[in-house]
Amino acid sequence: MNLLNKNNIIIAVSALVVLGAGTYFYQQSCEQKEQASKSALFQVEKTLQTESATLTEAEKTPGAKIDVDAKFPKTIAELNKLVSGSDTPQVKFEAGMKLGAMYLGYANDASFSKAIEAFKKVTEFGKTSFQKASAFYLLGSTQEKANLVKEAADSFQKALDQGNEGMKNEVLLSLVRVNVKANNATQAKNFADKLNKESPGSKAAQEAQKLISSKS
Contact 91, 40 (CB under 8 A): yes
pLDDT at 3 (0 to 100): 42
Degrees (nearest 5) of the Cα angle 118, 121, 123? 115
pLDDT at 108 (0 to 100): 67
pLDDT at 85 (0 to 100): 83
Q: Give span(s): CATH 1.25.40.10, the chain.
A: 128-216
pLDDT at 111 (0 to 100): 76
pLDDT at 65 (0 to 100): 84
CATH no. for 128-216: 1.25.40.10
pLDDT at 9 (0 to 100): 42
pLDDT at 26 (0 to 100): 33
pLDDT at 183 (0 to 100): 92
Contacts of 207 (CB under 8 A, 6+ apart): 173
pLDDT at 170 (0 to 100): 94
Give CB contacts under 8 A, 24+ apart, made by 206-213: 207/173, 208/172, 208/173, 208/176, 211/176, 211/177, 211/180, 212/176, 212/180, 212/188
Query: Taking the chain (216 residues) in consecutive chunks of 10 residues, what is each chunk's mean pLDDT?
Result: 44 44 41 62 90 90 85 94 85 90 78 90 90 94 93 96 92 96 93 93 92 81
Q: How far apart are CA 158 and CA 141, in angstroms?
A: 13
Q: How far apart are CA 138 and CA 156, in angstroms?
A: 9
Q: Structure pTM? A: 0.78
pLDDT at 33 (0 to 100): 54
pLDDT at 107 (0 to 100): 65
pLDDT at 195 (0 to 100): 94
